[in-house]
Structure 1
């Protein structure tokens, strides 16, 4: 489990080669990587939201949820993260279809799952949920993910550097939009979850 995390952060070129040699399935990717790492921001946010509360660093937090509301928000947030990996994978697949030898959907989703690793890990800071700190960590995670994306996409998807640059740029732009959408969902879930989520889960 999580055998590629350290390699992607310290020597990504070599790690991309190892990942490619494994011929991994999407099911294996989720079972041994995505499902585990996606829980990092969820669990961190649950702890931070129930024990400390979201704030800007002042004495009083402006959002603090009870355990049930935070649990329901966490479930919804977790599902959104898992779906986002599939979405980005399909975006990569769509962008690469124009090329001579487009990669399979499996390879694209696996690639998306691994480039999201820094974003997953940046969610650790939600244990102490200062808004500015979480935004800073998210930005750093996004930059590292972008580096993995630009570095790995020509090799991992079997396309040229020029083609990889086009796919990388488009994927990064869509990824930023997905991140912004997820941040908006996060604000709604963790900010208004105490009111909305118990009502939604009744259905």
Structure 2
């Protein structure tokens, strides 16, 4: 059921959010049928791009990771996407009381998972590691995810649009803080020896 919403979120998000709202899908089923599968796209693409294609800055040498290093880093990337989606979802549920959401069923993880759909899908660009192209596609993916957040939150939580805008802005702020936190954690992980190993 989860993957059936993927195309709808791209083609007609408002109607699809209503459909998602009417589903009786559990968080575990959402993860099994949507998040675990779609998060494999950017992780798998990044592994292929980093180990088989390689990065090149200007006319410099092509840089590739060893397969073991690429697998290790992409596995951590995959785990971070799964954990990050869940944590943002729990933050949404925590904020729901502040914004006077009357829903008894927690919907934060559902909102976070479906909002991340464009990022998961367009993560396929990682298979072709070109800095400028990756940045452009990444910006498009993030922009559409932000759009889905602002459109979907009032529908899913059944609150007025003006309150939904403030709620979505709070969620976006948490997401940015988490992103900075992940960058800091990456530095710590690299410092203890789990960093990139390049082919000779």
Q: List alignment gaps of at least 5 residues for structure 2.
A: none
Separation of aligned partners in 1, 2:122 and 2:181: 17
Partners of 2:173 and 2:102 lie apart in 1 by 20
- Identify the residue that residue 17 of structure 2 maps to in structure 1: 16
Comparing 2-11 and 171-180, the one that deviates more: 171-180
Over aligned residues, Cα RMSD in angstroms? 2.4
User: Which residue does 2:52 correspond to in 1?
Assistant: 51
Higher mean C-alpha deviation, range 52-61 or range 90-99: 52-61
1:44-193 alignment, distance < 5 Å: 44-61=45-62, 63-103=63-103, 106-182=106-182
Deviations 1:164-186 (A, max 9, x none): 01111111222233345556767
In structure 2, what is the equivalent of residue 201 of structure 1?
A: none
C-alpha spacing 1:129/1:103, structure 2 compared with 1 (3 Å): farther
Q: Normalization by structure 1: what TM-score?
A: 0.85
Task: Return closer, same or farther for 1:42/1:128 CA change in 2, 3 Å cut-off.
Answer: same
What is the deviation of 1:138?
1.3
Give ranges in structure 1 of 5+ residues lacking alignment: 199-203
Count of aligned pairs = 194
CA apart distance, 1:47: 0.2
Q: Counterpart in 1 of 2:8?
A: 7
Report the CA distance shift for 1:10/1:181 in structure 2 as closer, same or farther (over 3 A): farther
How many angstroms does 1:129 deviate by?
A: 0.9
Could you say what secondary structure the match of 1:106 adopts? coil
1:6–1:187 Cα change, 3 Å: farther
